[in-house]
Amino acid sequence: MLDFYGTTLANGFMLGTAQYPSPAILADAFRRSQASVATVSLRRESGQDRAGQDFWQMIRALDVHILPNTAGCHSVKEAVTTAHMAREVFDTKWIKLEVIGEEDTLQPDVFGLVEAARILTEDGFQVFPYTTEDLVVADRLLHAGCEVLMPWGAPIGSGLGLNNLFGLRAMRAHFPDVPLVIDAGLGLPSQAAQAMELGFDAVLLNTAVAKAGDPAAMAEAFAIAIRAGQLAATADPMEPRDMAAPSTPVIGKAFLL
């Protein structure tokens, strides 16, 4: 069981709600994956009386935890304002905090991220920061009040997988008691399994499922891979070695003279 800010999740699958071919396919993807968290952008809602209400009712019907995000925000002020609006709309203290600093890679602006995390934490938010695998930035985010870290695997929507295995292993080793979520860049279920094998607590993804030929089937495949990786991590896997070792014992083997 996974604990995020005192909330226990049934599994480590966080799934986005954007870019699906239809609402029915989105709902089917959540049903087959049994994802425990749905990430939602405020831009799908509107301040007008009826705008966005059908989508919000559908998300409520999924019966999962809601994690609003500040996707597309490029400044501290924009991210903080969006977070406050999201808290009102979605009625949750959770916020996936994004402060984008570079257009081509959508890499986080880590300086703005730390500042925004501090402001929001002091205002009662429970912040899930989309960050890099930089250990110094991670430490600053924790000191700003974050209790979860969400390093990217690769640029958002790229499907490249885990680009910096050394950095991600180092983060897991350096913060053994902090919930860690791989956020962004996963394209295949095998990459999600690899993240869980590294000891991460959850993965968050959207494009790999929503843009698949069969989103619901892909969502289920990711769910199976996440579970497999989690089981592997807790099963005390063997260490890799440079030399071969026979898997069949040689003691008692018959020798021909």
Binding residues: 157, 184-185, 206-207
Is 253 known to be catalytic?
no
Question: Which residues are documented as binding site for 1-deoxy-D-xylulose 5-phosphate?
Answer: 157, 184-185, 206-207
Burial class of residue 141, CB neighbours in 10 A (0-12, 13-18, 19+): buried
Token duo for residue 253: 């083997």
Torsion of CA 229, 232, 233, 239, to 10 degrees: -120
Q: How far apart are CA 186 and CA 97, in angstroms?
A: 19
Which listed residue (77, 93, 96, 253) is catalytic? Answer: 96
By annotation, the residues acting in catalysis are: 96
